[in-house]
Amino acid sequence: MYVMNCYMLPLGLCDDMHQLCAGFWWGDSEEKNKIHWRSWERLCVPKKEGGMGFKNLHWFNKAMLAKQSWRLLQNPNSLIARLYKAIYFPNGEYLIAGLGNTPSFSWRSIVEARQVLVQGLRWQVGNGEHIEIWNHNSIPDVYPRGPSSPPPYDAPRFVEELIDPITRSWDLPPPPLVDSYKAVWKATWDAKVPSKVALHAWKTAVNILPTRVGLSTKGYNGEMGCLLCLHTLENSLHVFADCPYAQEVWHRAGLQLPTGPSDNFIDWFLGVINSLTKEQIARCLMLLWGIWKNRNSQLWEHKRQHASEAVLLTMGWYEEFKKVNVQPTEIRRQLVTWTRLQENWVKVNCNGAFQPATRKGGARVVIRDANGDFQVGAARPLPLVTSPFHAELMALKEGINLAVALQHEQVLFESDCSLLVQALHSTEPDLSTMSMLLDEIRLMLQNHGGYRINYVPREANTVAHGFASQ
């Protein structure tokens, strides 16, 4: 890790280490190499996008070196930054500096990885007067970018021309991004089931399960029919959805699954997930494992469980797993309630809500006096928010503005977002996309000496939370 933080490792060395990791993952030994069902690059994709989240060492190396680029930009007066500037770009800027005549290995490594940083840099919009719409990346997205379409003839030039001068809001919000299978990955990895059960469901969803059709893509040329019925092709969709044995399992388990036509397993599975509760999804994953285990017993041991027996044994394992790993619902949490204040103080409870699909949210504020009696409440929609944290910040800002308008001087603000309270109390420089909004809120609090902010659990913020979620 230390070396990767300073120098670019040879690509061949990274590839050798990837091969060792892949061999370990698929179970290779000195006597026999197993089938590698998926490339290492695809296994390195994050879990929420359908991979296993392993690290690509070459890109991880580049990311480590890109952090050094960021330090050079953020700390231009540091010793190493002044040294590099004196040697390699005495009259220019780091982002456009070249290698020079005799670059050191460390400088060559940092420059090689600099493009990673450049691809992630964007302008953070304040008043927008210096940001060029078509030439500067300023849109917060999966990757920072500018508008994707070319500018029309009479297009505005600067971002400030896109901001309403009175409301300080955007004229038109960008359309939301949609990942059609995001629900599959989230449901699979969030399910409270044994790890190997979740891994089995992932393998099935990404189509690397060793069914007979799957094995045929790796050189198998034997029987292709289903082991449990007379169907001529055994693929994942048939084994778990169309096979009469699987349908009997779902029926015995009391799960009503979608029966419409599907072209592949993952589309069928997406429909299943969208129609079930979290508890039912966990049971579904367990039964996927049970069906596959029975199929393998038929293949290798010529033993076959009746569908009712498979359900009984699989659900019995699931219940034992829950007893050990899932906190019982009978355990009652200590109730946290709204607490009273000193005389002449008021309490402002704030909460924000966020809808990822539409990038819309809501801000809700409730003000009570020292005795807990309701004084005033406020609510407003948030037409464009980028995250739950953004919605919480906007809700707090709304609460501060309301307290100022009502001329309250001794105010305790409460939020059930611990990240928000920690960020406001932190003295470390904030480099997130919310840094300008955080600075604005800090200044608002500092300008009123009697304003304080605390974190409270959601149980003590139920009124504001309930309003915001509506």
**Which amino acid is it at 132?**
E
Residue 105 is assigned to a structural domain of this protein: yes
DSSP 447: T
Least confident residue range of 38-52, 77-91, 332-346, 396-410? 332-346
Whether the predicted pLDDT of 284 surpasses 90: yes
Residue 153 is assigned to a structural domain of this protein: no
- Of 76, 91, 120, the one marking the end of a domain is 120
pLDDT of residue 142: 57
Q: Is 412 helix (H, G, I), strand (E, B) or coil?
A: strand
Q: How many residues are given for the chain?
A: 470
Could you tell me which of 210, 182, 201 has the C-alpha nearest to residue 283?
201
The 10 Å Cβ neighbour count of residue 351 is 28
Alpha-carbon distances of 296 from 4, 25, 135, 228, 334, rounded to whole Å: 44, 21, 58, 10, 47
Whether the predicted pLDDT of 387 surpasses 50: yes
Residue 260 is assigned to a structural domain of this protein: yes
Q: Are residues 241 and 351 in the same domain?
A: no
Identify the sign of the CA torsion 425, 430, 433, 435. positive
Mean pLDDT of 34-53: 92
- Of 120, 140, 157, the one marking the end of a domain is 120
Q: Are residues 434 and 302 in the same domain?
A: no
pLDDT of residue 464: 52
Residue 143 is assigned to a structural domain of this protein: no
Q: Are residues 198 and 247 in the same domain?
A: yes
Q: Are residues 321 and 350 in the same domain?
A: no
Whether the predicted pLDDT of 337 surpasses 70: no
| CA gap 298, 239 in Å, rounded | 13
pLDDT of residue 156: 78
Query: Per-residue confidence at 134, pLDDT binned at 50, 70, 90?
Result: confident
Q: What is the token pair recorded at 462?
A: 């139920």
Q: Are residues 306 and 351 in the same domain?
A: no
Q: Are residues 350 and 442 in the same domain?
A: yes
Q: Are residues 97 and 207 in the same domain?
A: no
Residue 174 is assigned to a structural domain of this protein: no
Q: Are residues 221 and 98 in the same domain?
A: no
The 10 Å Cβ neighbour count of residue 211 is 24
Q: Which residues pair with 376 in a beta bridge?
A: 367
Q: Are residues 54 and 105 in the same domain?
A: yes
For the stretch 318-329, pLDDT in tens is 988 888 885 544
pLDDT of residue 222: 92
Alpha-carbon Rg for the chain, nearest whole angstrom, is: 29
For the stretch 157-211, pLDDT in tens is 788 877 776 666 666 555 444 668 899 999 999 999 999 999 999 999 999 999 9
Residue 215 is assigned to a structural domain of this protein: yes
Q: Are residues 320 and 354 in the same domain?
A: no
Residue 20 is assigned to a structural domain of this protein: yes
pLDDT of residue 239: 95
Query: How many domains is the chain built from?
Result: 3
Q: Is 405 helix (H, G, I), strand (E, B) or coil?
A: helix
pTM of the model: 0.57
* pLDDT over 90, % of the chain: 52
Domain that holds residue 10: 2-120
Q: Indicate the helix (H) or strand (E) that contains 353.
A: strand 346-355
Q: Are residues 370 and 291 in the same domain?
A: no
Residue 163 is assigned to a structural domain of this protein: no
Whether the predicted pLDDT of 334 surpasses 60: no
Whether the predicted pLDDT of 16 surpasses 50: yes
| CA gap 214, 222 in Å, rounded | 12
Whether the predicted pLDDT of 66 surpasses 90: yes
pLDDT of residue 468: 47
Whether the predicted pLDDT of 305 surpasses 90: no
Mean pLDDT of 325-348: 64
Whether the predicted pLDDT of 146 surpasses 80: no
Q: Are residues 413 and 449 in the same domain?
A: yes
- Of 82, 101, 120, the one marking the end of a domain is 120
CATH number (domain holding residue 414): 3.30.420.10
